[in-house]
Amino acid sequence: MPLSPPRRYLTLASPATAELEVKRSRFLCDVAPASSEEAARAFVEQVRSGTRDARHHCTAFVLGPDGATQRSNDDGEPSGTAGAPMLDVLRGSGLTDVVAVVTRWFGGTLLGTGGLIRAYGDAVSQALHEATMLARELREGVVVDVDHTSGPRVEHALRGLAHVEVGNVDYLPQGMRLSVTAAPDAVAEVARTVATLTSGAGRIAPGQPAWVDATP
């Protein structure tokens, strides 16, 4: 039986950095949220372009609500000593839609396989420790059609409901159309509110589900 797709996941609220030094080699880790593989690679290039004097820019990212897309790159370090331990830390954190770049300036002393694995993993761990986490959840989409007279009252009421967000508001010849996202257990409250304020004349229909920042 296939697993149900996740309805909630943890990511980063904003980029963060951390730096450590091991035997005079500097390891600077930048982590950031990334909503797609294109966004993750763009962040990697942004970091790389600002630190071209460094010898290595090793990377790892985990993407998708279920963390299904996972990539890592050793960027010239011995195979398995950089990208893989970085990816292990990201997976172990439970985060997704996240990218990590560790920039290394060689200090003249070889660290060995074990030393590199520890250094790259520790750099990512420290950057995540500095970061602020953010939960995102999947909301149901609801399209609300009401007349021009009751539309403003309905919009105001829906904006006051917990776990409900009003997105686009379109003014059509026949009335107002509100694009709403709601937690699954709040959809019924949206329907009741619309029915009450329009004396049953308002109409709701399924809309496009959307990922939104979770609210307490």
With a pLDDT cut of 90, the percent of the chain lying above it is 92
Residues 35 and 47 in one domain: yes
Residues 127 and 141 in one domain: no
**Is residue 65 assigned to a domain?**
yes
Residues 94 and 108 in one domain: yes
**Is residue 92 assigned to a domain?**
yes
Give the whole-angstrom CA distance, residue 95 versus residue 147.
43
Give the whole-angstrom CA distance, residue 116 versus residue 86.
11
Find how far residue 21's CA is from the centre of its chain.
29
Residues 68 and 147 in one domain: no
End-to-end CA distance of the chain: give it in Å, rounded. 32
| Domain count for the chain | 2
Find how far residue 31's CA is from the centre of its chain.
12
Give the whole-angstrom CA distance, residue 163 versus residue 107.
52
Residues 67 and 155 in one domain: no
**Is residue 2 assigned to a domain?**
no
Residues 183 and 87 in one domain: no
Residues 153 and 82 in one domain: no
**Is residue 14 assigned to a domain?**
yes
Residues 117 and 15 in one domain: yes
Amino acid at 90: L
Residues 112 and 12 in one domain: yes
Give the whole-angstrom CA distance, residue 176 versus residue 90.
45
Residues 22 and 117 in one domain: yes
Stretch 174-196: mean pLDDT, rounded?
A: 96
Q: Which domain holds residue 157?
A: 135-213
Stretch 150-175: mean pLDDT, rounded?
A: 95
> What pLDDT sits at residue 6?
86
Find the CATH number of the domain harbouring 93. 3.30.230.30
> What pLDDT sits at residue 215?
63
> What pLDDT sits at residue 1?
43
Report residue 48 as tokens. Answer: 């790389």
H/E segment holding residue 12: strand 8-12
Report residue 215 as tokens. Answer: 């609210």
Find the CATH number of the domain harbouring 152. 3.30.70.240
Residues 98 and 147 in one domain: no
Give the whole-angstrom CA distance, residue 88 versus residue 174.
55
Report residue 189 as tokens. Answer: 């409250």
Q: φ and ψ at 64, to 5 degrees? A: 95, 145
**Is residue 20 assigned to a domain?**
yes
> What pLDDT sits at residue 116?
96
Read off the pLDDT of residues 102-152 as tens digits, 9 standing for 90 and up. 999 998 888 999 999 999 999 999 999 999 999 999 999 999 999 999 999
**Is residue 3 assigned to a domain?**
no
pTM, two decimals, is 0.83
Read off the pLDDT of residues 48-78 as tens digits, 9 standing for 90 and up. 999 989 999 999 999 999 999 999 999 999 9
